[in-house]
Structure 1
Amino acid sequence: MATVVVVRHGRTTANATGVLAGRTAGVLLDEVGRQQAAATGARLAVVPFARVVTSPLERCRETTEAIVAQQSADAAFSVLVDAAITECDYGDWQGRPLSELAGEDLWQTVQRQPSAVTFPGGETMSGMQHRAVSAIRAHDAAVEQEHGPGAVWLAVSHGDVVKSVLADALGVHLDLFQRISVGPASVSILRYGAHRTDVLATNTDGGDLSWLRGSAPSADAAVGGGAGTV
């Protein structure tokens, strides 16, 4: 099975000021976010990617560029833009301060039962999860078919989108996805197997990732926990 490295974009000007950016154009990484993206790129420089997929929004493209810039000069991979992993359509909530949104009745539903949420003028949170998971799984299958079960690829997306993908991978209901944390420029790692999904890492911002260059993983779980990576 192939391995997908899922990265959230670095911190943005909207994140820093407490505004729900949504799909607003022109929201860029701030200085902290650029440093975060560069640090993630340095971590991932040892990992040869077979494919790179990014949300079309600027903050994800910037993060992707920072990562790709540190890949090997002879690396051969395609960079694809996929709207299916773009930010949630928050509709009328877009561009508003989080402190203001916290006073809305819908806010409590977002916190406690996201599967019941339809953002006014926007999409449902369950629809967001469905499109994102479908896209990630489709890219994963294509990468494995083209490059083999040892291939590693990168997806760069947004906080709620990544959380929803992780919830699906962990086999938990969308209503529990607020229990998952995904920090700016964090790295999560998944493998979609024939029998189950392996969640190798979530929300990491440090540590050696050179073990991802190893041979194709076993399709069976290591009973007792296994020997780990070297």
Structure 2
Amino acid sequence: MIDSLISDILFGFTGLISIINPVSGAFVFFDRTSSFNDGQRRMLAKRVAMNSFCVLLVAFFVGTPILHFFGISIEALRIGGGLAVAVAGWQMLYAPDRQPDAPQTVEQFDPHLANAKAFFPLTIPFTTGPGTIATAIALNANRTHKLSAFLLSSVASIVISVLVVLVVYFVYARAARLAQYLGVDGTRVALRVSSFLLLCIGVQIILTGLEGFLTPIATLRAGQ
């Protein structure tokens, strides 16, 4: 049982963290918080991590029932969410460069605006986007109603969520250090690369959704 739990945790963690890709997301986070100081950025990173934890728990435990209630398929979630991610990546890819010497004063920091930004777009779709949500739902799609297996799966889901958000917070809170290490030009290049990867991720999510939608149709026609 312990071996199965560890295996489930490792599988889920590696799958989710590879989709979230917090290192790439850190440059997006830094760009969206360019007017914040380090303390404000750490506070926002903590808020994003907390939001991401809630999103993952919802996806793990009630994601499938919610989709069924609204009649939304995994394929529709991937296509719609992938489109949102692709559009965001496209906009960031061709957005004009910001001034590197923009003042970072406390007066510019609006807590209400920062909290709103922490959820959208920093948590959704940049951190825990449709690919992450769909993956979390898929990990527990076959969850059994047997009590022992349900408890084991629940523990794995919680541990996976905690590990993921700890990595997200650790990397996002140090986004300024990454940018400082790369310098202004290096940060601009990294941001463009991250934006392009975000665009590609969105397109890939759309293609995965289309494949899941079209494959049964093609199989049905081939069988006729």
**TM-score by structure 2 length?**
0.27
Highest RCO, 1 vs 2 (Cα 8 Å, sep ≥ 6): 2
More helix by share: 2
**TM-score by structure 1 length?**
0.27
More strand by share: 1
